[in-house]
Structure 1
Amino acid sequence: MSRPSPPQPEPLIRSKLVGRLELARDGTLSGFVYSPHAPERRFTVEILLDGLVFTTIYADLFVPELAEQGLQATCGFAVTIEPDLLRAARTLEARLANLGTPVGQPVDLESDRASLIDLHQRCELCWLGGLRFQGWIDSETALFLEAIVDGKAVAHVHATAWTHIGEAAAHRNVRAFEFHVPQRFADGRVHRVSLRREDGEQIPATAVFVAFADGLAGMIDALGGYDAECLRGKLYDQLIPASLPLVDYVNWRDRFPLPVPRDSTLSLAVVIAGAAGAAQTLAALEAQTHENWTAGAMEGEPLSVDSDALLEFLDGAASDSHHVVIAMAGVVLEPNALARIAAAFDAYPGAIALYGDLDFIADGRLWPLAFPAFDYERMLEQGYCAHLFAVRRSALLASLETRPDNLYRLFNCLLDHTGPREDNILHLPGTLATLPKLDRTNAIYQLATASQMHLEARGVRADVIPQQGNLFPAVRIARAIAPQRVTVVVPTRDRLPLLRTCLDSIAPAVERCRADILVVDNDSAAPDTLAYLADLARRGVRTLRVEGPFNFARLNNQAAATLDTDVLCLLNNDIEASCDDWLEEMLRRLAEPDVGAVGALLIWPGGVVQHGGVVLGMNFAATHAFTDRFVDDPGFLDQLLVAHECSAVTAACLATRRSDYLDVGGMDEARFAVAFNDVDYCLRLRQAGKRIVFTPHSKLVHAESASRGADDRADRRGRFERELNLLRARWGEWLNEDPNYNPQLSRDGIPYSGLAWPPGPRPPRYKHLAQARDVPLGF
């Protein structure tokens, strides 16, 4: 009996594929692989040196020559190979991964006929969701482009900013741009967008997009009768959110008005601090929808408080008011401001104080001051919540015993005896008023005095150093540090130049803090690396050998288990210190007992921000903030000028107590071996009642992923997606509503760079953390 013939694989016949492979003299290997019969198909390509697989790469780059023929053109690839490897090899070739099909012709490295042509990426255009796009173009000069949708010019694009691309030695700064196309394209249809220069030359980058007015869930709800699809629409909007430009804020406010607050019988006392601008504030009070209020204005300089006059007002005209609104003179209240404040106190009877978002006017245009839920560290260094706030009468009377003389002190004295508690201060998302221009020179002095007095009242020894602010005043809090044992933990595997630079650059800070260093060696094999590691003991640097596949969480867990130290400073081996006080600054933040982790400002070698804290929920994930800014940019509402709280910080440079690390079980090495282990760790600290602080006063250079490579490589993409899905499963509630981010701000692309369309839920909120939802291993 004859056996049946084995099934033949579908012929991915070589004649069906069009491909090319070429090598440039700068070591860039480039090419493309295109299937005429399946033009949408994308391939993973193996690069081989002398028949051995050197690396794999996903072929999805733009190919100009295919685009000129009207073909699907995103099937190219490019990779830079170190010159030493090329000189040691004879042949270089590419094949389809797992299939062995050659791509193009092999390159004879022993000849001198290497091509000068390459497909190295010179620009990129990315759809962020909705009507928003961002990208970059490799140009030394600013460019002015046109956005083309379905063949018609619809918007001007200014490539005047900077961003960072590339890895390790190939990194470079390039011109960046960001734009929205008009709202008429939010019609649920598929559109194609491209770019061209002012002279009409086409830019080799395109993107396809589809957008829905007010989101897919909103469209489904408006159509009605599709309840079964609501969940699908909600998930789509989480993964592909939409935004509008910040410059459209006035129209956005009109389109998404705040819910009408419930009627309240609360009697409110309104205190106006300062003489200049008091008439404006009083005029706005006359238009309030909540009618049960009494107002009094205190004479004096802007931001000043007369405690005696305030007590007299409370005992007299406002004797029957159980809640007091404190406003800086010149604040123009929204007509429903008092109604929202009263309704919030009704709904949250345990709240002792509340504050809300504000607006301000610049160049004749209205802009949003969109704040987080209560941020103690930012209150100390910026006083952001003290220009308009409301407080329970009993709490105010108790605080007046300290005789505060300005608004910053009047607010922070509420916390003199409780410290950085956050569970009884409410934040009201959505503007309560328009803020007048601040006299920052006077405000800085008043804030510095107030923060110093508050810390002294708490028994915290600290220097308060005035800083230069942009929108708000700014100070720097330098707490005293108690003697403690500190160990800097540096995982590494070969890549000796990175490790040597890291250890040499951090040495002054380590010596300044009398800290130790532990290098965790994960299977280094290069002889020069092994010799260097063996010599570290002579320099007083400990080493710990940990074998096995790279698992960042496991390396740090084993280090923590081995050490007997008070503080761990987790540090990547591709970090280079740019100052000598970075570690001291982080330890000063960690001096507060309720701070669980401290993160630093990390920048690319070219000066672009790489990490300014972590924001949750961007495209239903976790994203570094301010990666669209240069290091000297103040950031949204001056957040790159002052320390503030985040939901998470990166473990590329993270200080934490070893006791806290062990109490929450360290990093989750089973679920988050490489990505998001730091985010998950910080969120578990938050769940344990700890604060996470980001400080821009600690600044280091980070060549991110120079050691291990990027997570979007084809051979790592599956692992990264699994870890991302586990993060979503465990922390989905916080990804939906990060209390350290404002629900009115965009959740596509880079944080703080647009308005959410539509906005997230905007009820009053505490800084509470929803419980994690554990996922059993294997799921």
Structure 2
Amino acid sequence: MKFKKAVMLGMGAAANPRRTARRVKFHRRRRQVNRDRRTSYQNWFKEYEKSANEHQEQAKAVATFGKKPLISIILPIYNTNHLHLRQCIQSVIDQSYDNWELCVADDASTTNPLAVVKELGAGSGKIKWVRSDKNQHIAGASNEALKLASGEHIALLDHDDLLLPNALFEAVQAINENPKSDLIYSDEDKVEDGKGHSDPFFKPDWSPDFLKSCNYVTHFAVMRRSTVEAIGGFRIGTEGAQDWDLFLRLTAKTKNIYHIPKVLYSWRKSPTSTAKTAKSKPYAYINQLRVLRDAAAAKKQPYSVLESRYKGFWRINYHIQGSPLVSIIIPTKDNYRHIKTCLESIIENTTYPNFEVIIVDTGSKDKQTLDFYKSRLVSANPVKVVGWKKTFNFSGACNLGASKSRGQYLLFLNDDTSVITHKWIENMLEHAQRDEIGMVGCKLLFPNDHIQHAGVILSERDIAFHPFYGLDPGLDIFSNIFISNIRNCSAVTAACSMISRQKFEKVGGFDEALAVTYNDVDLCLRLLKAGYFNLYTPYAEVYHYESASVGKITTPDRDKKELLAAQELMRERWLELLKRDPFYNDNFIQHGPGYQLKTV
């Protein structure tokens, strides 16, 4: 049997030489992309590290702080490599901000790591320690370390990781700027013996849906001690996911959350760390599932937790309430081929039963298009055609379609699209039904399955841009974190987006002063201003042939006067947000193509 299987596998490979060659080429390209990203980051880090070590400048700044709180650093240890522990504690001693204490809890180690702790703490009075007689695992050990803390704020540190010298300085500066903050988190990277720093994680500001997809807060985290104690500290039985569990419970109680867009923490890649391999702690993934389910139960939220394709990342699947009517609104003009393909894909590929289609024709004269409106595909399905009689105005056409529709939820769709995911409506509706969510956007793909849209980023220069435009989603591991997970973003494209009618009408619908360009971004920013989160989901996929009707912004036949006027209006309204998108990161160049490191 083994011989037959080997022969069959060999025949299969031989039968598909082109496919094999494509896969080999793809993996080579992916390795090169990630090598280039690593090299780029290491060059960037060399310059960044200089500013992180500016102790004198940081000391001068500390002298001006109104608050100089004691920071209690929580450090559970267990059979830690002595050299790594020494480096870890030394990174605390080397902090430019010196009002700290290190609270160490030895979880019944057998290799005497406390010897290192006692040696480095001798005579300083800044390092406390306790040793358990019985192994309690990391949640219990963390609680023992927490009992030692006397600071107003606590910070979390793993026993072989490193703090950058400016970590506490930046945290205390943030506390002074945001004195009510209950949780402060920073960007991070990884460090490996002999290989230096790599794998940076440049994070967005507070993104509650991203936190339910993955523990993006993780390192470096500083919390108000009274808030942590009020929720009961670390929960026993959540080992490997105890930090994530703490963040989920804490953020359910407070919205005073602040992000420091600087790398302040290096997570060590070691054989026993998930920084090195997801397989090192299989129990962690079992407990991740548990803490996400418990978070749903605590808030009485009707959702299921589903595994994603990638270890450590999850999908929160909210349960749809009832079966509300969804109105799909499609503006079009003289575009028979696209509108026919679009409508066929909706009728054939949609599993959600309760929808209607409103085609807003903006002045078609083409006989084939007009005949199509009389065809059986239109007449035999819940499809209505309404006419926009004025000069073309995308915002006006969408508003007209909304006014002529009956649905409780509005799904705006370009005519040059084709449905891929059968549950595309369900996978957007589950979020549009949530009280806190404004506009929901989906993953748009080009016909070659490369990314067209996975959320929009704001820019003072560009107004808005698609950061992953044209990218093969499997090529870049870092980009895939954002492409493959549900997360909040400042804006999504109206090429395919859903919103409840009530929220749409509350903020005034699309602004017809933005006739062609940026009307979707403007609507999303008004929702953001009204207190809603906009959301991107990768679980609704649609092909987009992109601006087949009006052309791309860069095409010669687009109205440049309209474009320039729209840009000027957007800068007048939204300049502060355009200067800094809260769901992007300050370390990246603030214009397209996106996710490229700035020069330090």
TM-score tier after normalising by the smaller chain length = 0.7 to 0.9
Distance, in Å, in 1 between the alignment partners of 2:522 and 2:209 is: 22
Q: 2:446: which partner in 1?
A: 604
Structure with greater contact order relative to length (CA < 8 Å, sep ≥ 6)? 2
From the superposition, tell whether residues 496 and 329 of structure 1 become closer, same or farther in structure 2 (CA, over 3 Å): farther
Aligned residues: 515
Q: CA deviation at 1:614?
A: 0.7
Deviates more, 1:559-568 or 1:424-433: 559-568
Alignment counterpart, residue 253 of structure 1, candidates 48, 71, 75: 48
Q: CA deviation at 1:740?
A: 0.9
1:296 aligns to 2:114 (yes or no):
no
- Counterpart contact for 1:402–1:413, Cα < 8 Å: no
Q: Deviations over 1:599-639 (max 9, x none)?
A: 11111112221112111116342101111421334443711
CA contact (8 A) 2:327 2:406 kept: no
Matches within 5 A, 1:361-760: 361=191, 364-367=195-198, 368-400=200-232, 403=235, 405=238, 406-417=242-253, 421=255, 424-437=256-269, 438=274, 439-441=277-279, 442=282, 443-469=284-310, 473-483=312-322, 484-508=324-348, 510-535=350-375, 536-617=378-459, 619-633=461-475, 634-636=477-479, 638-670=481-513, 672-716=514-558, 717-752=560-595, 754-757=596-599
Gaps of 5+ in 1: 1-139, 142-159, 163-175, 181-243, 759-779
- Scaled by the length of structure 2, what TM-score is found? 0.79
Give the CA deviation at 1:304: 6.6
Residue type of the alignment partner of 1:403: R
What per-residue deviation string (whole Å, max 9, x for no partner) do you get for residues 566-601 of structure 1? 111111011111221222111122232111011111
SS at match of 2:338: helix
Contact 1:328 1:388 in 2 (8 A): no
How far is the alpha carbon of 1:255 from its aligned partner?
5.9
Larger-Rg structure? 1
The 8 Å contact of residues 603 and 611 in structure 1, kept in 2 or not, is answered as yes
Query: Residue 610 of structure 1: SS of its match in structure 2?
Result: strand
- From 148, 157, 161, the equivalent of 1:331 is 161
- What is the aligned partner in structure 2 of residue 344 from structure 1? 174
Partner of 1:282: 89
User: Could you tell me which amino acid in structure 2 is paired with residue 475 of structure 1?
Assistant: W
Give the aligned partner of residue 5 of structure 2.
none
Between Structure 1 and Structure 2, the one with more helix by share is 2
Which secondary structure does the structure 1 equivalent of 2:151 belong to?
coil
Q: How far apart, CA to CA, are the structure 2 residues paired with 1:304 and 1:730?
A: 52
User: After the TM superposition, which residues 54-203 of structure 1 pair with which residues of structure 2 at under 5 Å, given as runs?
Assistant: none
Q: Which amino acid aligns with 2:379?
A: A
- C-alpha distance in 2, partners of 1:565/1:659? 11
Using the aligned pairs only, state the percent identity.
26
Partner Cα separation in structure 2 for residue 344 and residue 681 of structure 1: 31
Letter in 2 for 1:336: N
Deviation string for 1:205-261 (max 9, x for gaps)? Answer: xxxxxxxxxxxxxxxxxxxxxxxxxxxxxxxxxxxxxxx954521233146558725
Q: Note if contact 1:603-1:609 (Cα within 8 Å) is conserved in structure 2.
A: yes
Mark the CA change 1:295 to 1:608 in structure 2 (over 3 Å): closer, same or farther. same
Change (3 A) 1:293 1:343: farther
Cα shift at 1:382: 1.0
Which secondary structure state, in structure 2, belongs to the residue aligned with residue 452 of structure 1? helix
- Cα distance in 2 for partners of 1:345, 1:660 equals 35
What is the CA deviation profile of residues 471-527 of structure 1, one whole-angstrom value per residue up to 9, with x for unaligned ones?
xx2011101111222111111112111111111112255442522221111112222
Query: Given the alignment, which residue of 126, 134, 139 partners 1:306?
Result: 139
Deviation at 1:273, TM superposition (A): 4.8
| Displacement of 1:725 | 2.0
From the superposition, tell whether residues 618 and 701 of structure 1 become closer, same or farther in structure 2 (CA, over 3 Å).
farther
Match of 2:74 among 247, 253, 271: 271
Q: Distance in 1 between matches of 2:178 and 2:521?
A: 30
* Partner Cα separation in structure 1 for residue 587 and residue 345 of structure 2: 41
Q: Deviations over 1:95-120 (max 9, x none)?
A: xxxxxxxxxxxxxxxxxxxxxxxxxx
| Shift, 1:378, TM fit | 0.8
Judged with a 3 Å threshold, the aligned counterparts in structure 2 of structure 1 residues 408 and 558 are, in CA distance, closer, same or farther, namely same
3-state DSSP of counterpart to 2:103:
strand
In the aligned structure 2, how far is the partner of 1:250 from the partner of 1:497?
51
Distance 2:108 2:211 in 1: 23
After TM superposition, the score normalised by the length of structure 1 is 0.62
1:467 and 1:297 map into 2 onto residues whose CA distance is: 35
Distance 1:299-1:512 versus aligned 2 partners, 3 A rule = farther
Distance 1:628 1:531, change over 3 A: closer
Contact 1:474 1:641 in 2 (8 A): no
Using the alignment, how far apart are the partners of 2:234 and 2:523 within structure 1? 39
